[in-house]
Copies of this chain bind each other. A is one copy, B any other.
Amino acid sequence: MTSLSSVTPYDNMSPVTRAAYRAKAAAADLAPLPRSAKDDALLAIADALEVRTSEIVEANAVDIERAREAGTSDAIVDRLTLTPERVRAIAADVRQVAALPDPVGEVVRGSTLPNGIDLRQVRVPLGVVGIIYEARPNVTVDGAALCLKSGNAVLLRGSSSAYASNTALVKVIRDAVGGSGLPADAVQLVPGESRDSVQELMRARGMVDVLIPRGGASLIRTVVEGSTVPVIETGTGNCHVYVDAATDLDMAVDILLNSKAQRPSVCNAAETLLVHRDVADAFLPRALDALAEAGVTVHGDERVVGYADRTKATIVPATAEDWETEYLSYDIAAAVVESLDAAVAHIRLWSSGHTEAIVTTSQAAARRFTQLVDSTTVAVNASTRFTDGGEFGFGAEIGISTQKLHARGPMGLPELTSTKYIVTGDGHTR
């Protein structure tokens, strides 16, 4: 195949712009590739990660030492750390991506128009995907694998704290991609450790087709507000559990505990409990005790605070701030509401639109709650923790979109594609 990249002028470009142009040229070469060519490259990446593990772990040691010298917390150092075992797990994930179906080429819509023209809407790669992310170096490999599988070139802009690790990982990936006969520029680390390179990436409209920020709220806000490239907003989860008037109390306690305490540091963990006033007396003392046992501090409204003498739970009075906080810790805000509609109104006002659960035995209540709540996912008698690409059976996840455009909720491979229309006639004119 003739490469289309020869027509692009590279002179006088900044390193980031040059990387973006190279990615665009690589994307043109990737788009028409059949699944087998992409899977071969993915399997080569997985093999190379295993063969060159020591190289990766050595580079990672540089980042870890730098992090320790900077007084970074043990938790963050742990997230940063790559062991031979973790590298093997990352390689296994890449093989899993290779085993997934290829979304490219799927005919989404098709018909023969009245004039005889054949119309087909076909899935195609987005083109160039930029991922801006923090700490974890496994995102480097995940992101590259998912983008390659969906025929996209990827520009990776990881945290400067993981720069040595990411550089080593991307070197291994590019060697494997190039060795498989695909353009190595399909996977690039954005050059430069400074913030300027993020700014430049955010202004690369026309060269970069979408930016996906993955990380804390402040990173996401910066990208959303400063980018002229279309952005998919991910991640913030101020999730609610609403216990309805008609409810199974055991189920409600189970779902509350699982939603809050099974893994509090993730975006689909619950942050606020809303209880219908009719079940408050029956439910709250039990629920508060159970939360206390799990080590959860409750930030309660006046009525919840009123149960303090009937529970061993630590209850502190909630302020308005609590209703909008994503704690990501063993804390939960809690309020008693007058009705299902009041719960919905509370959620509409304060939720980040990620996941809200209702626990109810009433079919009418379940139906009304799912209709009125405007979040990526509404769970009926199930934990908020199920909002996850793996749980949904997508096989892989590039993030959880909390915006309404393009993709909403867990994003799998199809969410990394666009479509184009193919119009086929026999000389048709209007």
The residue from B262, B372, B410, B420 contacting A430, defined by CB atoms under 8 A apart: B262
Asked if A205 is at the interface of the complex by the 8 Å CB criterion, the answer is yes
Note all chain B residues with C-beta closer than 8 A to A376. 420-421
Q: Determine the distance from Cα of A262 to Cα of B366 in the docked complex, in whole angstroms.
A: 55
Given contacts A374-B28, A430-B258, contact A379 B7 (CB under 8 A): no
Note all chain B residues with C-beta closer than 8 A to A121. 409
Note all chain B residues with C-beta closer than 8 A to A427. 248, 250-251, 254-255, 381-382
Identical copies in the complex:
2
CB of A383 within 8 A of CB of B230, answer no
Note all chain B residues with C-beta closer than 8 A to A378. 420-423
Asked if A393 is at the interface of the complex by the 8 Å CB criterion, the answer is yes
CB of B205 within 8 A of CB of A430, answer no
Note all chain B residues with C-beta closer than 8 A to A424. 366, 379-382
Note all chain B residues with C-beta closer than 8 A to A210. 404-405
Asked if A124 is at the interface of the complex by the 8 Å CB criterion, the answer is yes
Closest partner residue, chain B, to A4 (CB atom): B345
Interface size class of A (residues with CB under 8 A): 35 or more
Min CB–CB distance A183 → chain B (angstroms): 15
Asked if A174 is at the interface of the complex by the 8 Å CB criterion, the answer is no
CB of B385 within 8 A of CB of A254, answer no
Note all chain B residues with C-beta closer than 8 A to A251. 427
Min CB–CB distance A220 → chain B (angstroms): 12
Note all chain B residues with C-beta closer than 8 A to A428. 381-383, 386
The main secondary structure of chain A at its interface with chain B is mixed
The residue from B31, B111, B429 contacting A383, defined by CB atoms under 8 A apart: B429
CB of B404 within 8 A of CB of A127, answer yes
Note all chain B residues with C-beta closer than 8 A to A225. 205, 228
Closest partner residue, chain B, to A262 (CB atom): B430
- Which residues of A4-56 have CB atoms within 8 Å of chain B's CB atoms? 4, 6-8, 28, 31-32
Asked if A425 is at the interface of the complex by the 8 Å CB criterion, the answer is yes
CB of B405 within 8 A of CB of A230, answer yes
Q: Determine the distance from Cα of A32 to Cα of B2 in the docked complex, in whole angstroms.
A: 52
- Which residues of A331-353 have CB atoms within 8 Å of chain B's CB atoms? 341, 344-345, 348-349
Asked if A113 is at the interface of the complex by the 8 Å CB criterion, the answer is yes
Q: Determine the distance from Cα of A349 to Cα of B375 in the docked complex, in whole angstroms.
A: 40
Known contacts A31-B371, A224-B228, A386-B430; 14 further A-B pairs (Cβ under 8 A): A113-B391, A113-B392, A117-B382, A126-B404, A127-B404, A250-B427, A366-B424, A379-B425, A380-B422, A381-B424, A386-B425, A404-B418, A406-B406, A408-B421
Interface pairs (10), CB distance under 8 Å = A4-B344, A117-B386, A209-B404, A366-B424, A380-B422, A382-B425, A382-B428, A405-B406, A408-B418, A408-B419
